[in-house]
Amino acid sequence: MAFYDKLFETLGLSEWCGESGSGAPLSMADLLAQAGGDDAAASGPAFPFPSLDNLNESCSSVLQARDVTKGIEEGFLAAKPALKTVLDPITQPLSWMLDGALWLFEATPWWIMIPILIAVSWYASRSRPVTIFVAISILLLAFVDHYDVAMQTLSIIFVCTTISVALGVPIGIAMSKSDRMQRMTVPVLDLLQTLPTFVYLIPLIFLFSVTESKLYGIAIILYAIVPVIRLTDLGIRLVDQDVIEAANAFGMNARQKLLKVQLPLALPNIMAGINQTIMMSLAMVVIASLVSAPGLGVNVLRGIRNLELGVGFVAGIGIVLLAVILDRVSKAALTRVDMTRVKH
């Protein structure tokens, strides 16, 4: 006799429940108990938790846990055509941008691309040690024949970071201007920040073809956009109210205050958010190699699948070098922004 039979009788739900266990599929616990025999049944808890499966044993009208997961899957599959119709034209430019950047980074000869990267590093950081480190790291990757895959990874990071910043900064500004919007957006950001990275890929695989670049592009952007939104909002909210009052005294309107006062003062926080967005983009690029994202992550995946220690280790070192390059250049740029702000 099931444990919760008397509970449903006391509540007067016997007719609603019908006959317990009438044709309902066995739960995983039941299957394990059958496989283990009487010993498994005897070792069960004296007071089982009223989970769906345990309640279903006494009342067949109560759903089983498997019905919940099945319902989620069926609901998503039912909404898939409508979602695909709406999202396909919106996200198609992302595929074009990723494919175009990939072609550009691969088609540009090394003797043009490497000087450009070194020049960009110098322009952003104005630091000789950082620029020398960037040059040595890129040349080292080229010496071990990982230049092409490193450029593929950089192209993806370039596109996804640019889009994340272009979307994240306006969202952060809007959050800083409205407490209601902040309360509505923060739970979404918490979800995006805490959701396991592999889970990002599950609904996207159902919506888009694995051969489409936007599949991994959307996953990277969703994962990496959170820091720049949070820190933009934080930076603007931390602007001293005395400064805002002085701007009001000078007769500045809302747009002038934003562009000439709040954004310049919040720039260090925004730059810190961009730094974290770059790092998170790089982290997601490796995981996105599971769904056809090119780059160094493919070699890491190959090393895991084929147990090729050397291939995976060298690709991992390449990812570390790229991470250090991007981190040092962005932090040096942040330091330069801070120094410039202090001087003015």
**285 lies in the same domain as 329:** yes
**50 lies in the same domain as 159:** no
Cα separation of 231 and 53, whole Å? 44
Mean per-residue pLDDT, 150-159: 95
Answer yes or no: are the C-beta atoms of 173 and 232 closer than 8 Å. Answer: yes
The CATH number of the domain holding residue 297 is 1.10.3720.10
**149 lies in the same domain as 275:** yes
Last-in-domain residue among 38, 63, 88: 63
> Is 288 contained in some domain?
yes
> Is 239 contained in some domain?
yes
Residue 292 pLDDT:
83
Of 29, 81, 76, nearest in space to 55 by CA:
29
Domain of residue 54: give its range: 5-63
**221 lies in the same domain as 135:** yes
Is residue 41 predicted with pLDDT exceeding 80? no
Cα separation of 179 and 186, whole Å? 10
Report the number of distinct structural domains present in the chain: 2
> Is 72 contained in some domain?
no
Structure tokens at 124: 């952003």
Answer yes or no: are the C-beta atoms of 294 and 157 closer than 8 Å. Answer: no
**168 lies in the same domain as 266:** yes
Residue 24 pLDDT:
53
**48 lies in the same domain as 84:** no
Residue 31 pLDDT:
58
> Is 248 contained in some domain?
yes
Q: What is the pLDDT of residues 62-77, one digit of tens each?
A: 888 888 889 989 999 8
> Cβ neighbours of residue 159 under 8 Å, at least 6 residues apart?
94, 97, 98, 101, 217
Answer yes or no: are the C-beta atoms of 312 and 300 closer than 8 Å. Answer: yes
**57 lies in the same domain as 89:** no
Mean of per-residue pLDDT scores for the chain: 87
Q: What is the pLDDT of residues 251-297, one digit of tens each?
A: 899 899 999 999 989 998 999 999 999 999 998 887 888 888 899 99
Mean per-residue pLDDT, 133-155: 95
Q: What is the pLDDT of residues 80-131, one digit of tens each?
A: 999 999 999 999 999 999 999 999 999 999 999 999 999 999 998 888 999 9
> Is 17 contained in some domain?
yes
Residue 341 pLDDT:
65
**48 lies in the same domain as 119:** no
pLDDT-derived band at 39, boundaries 50, 70, 90 = low
> Is 151 contained in some domain?
yes
pLDDT-derived band at 217, boundaries 50, 70, 90 = very high
Last-in-domain residue among 21, 37, 63: 63
> Is 75 contained in some domain?
no
> Is 68 contained in some domain?
no
pTM of the complete model: 0.85
Answer yes or no: are the C-beta atoms of 218 and 92 closer than 8 Å. Answer: no
**52 lies in the same domain as 95:** no
pLDDT-derived band at 30, boundaries 50, 70, 90 = low
Residue 1 pLDDT:
44
**176 lies in the same domain as 296:** yes
Cα separation of 82 and 25, whole Å? 32
Residue 159 pLDDT:
95
Structure tokens at 260: 């000439």
How much of the chain exceeds pLDDT 90, in percent? 56
* Residue 35 burial (CB count, 10 A): 8
DSSP letter assigned to residue 258:
I
Structure tokens at 336: 């330069």
**302 lies in the same domain as 263:** yes
Quick one: CA dihedral 198, 203, 208, 213, positive or negative?
A: negative
**92 lies in the same domain as 184:** yes
pLDDT-derived band at 311, boundaries 50, 70, 90 = very high
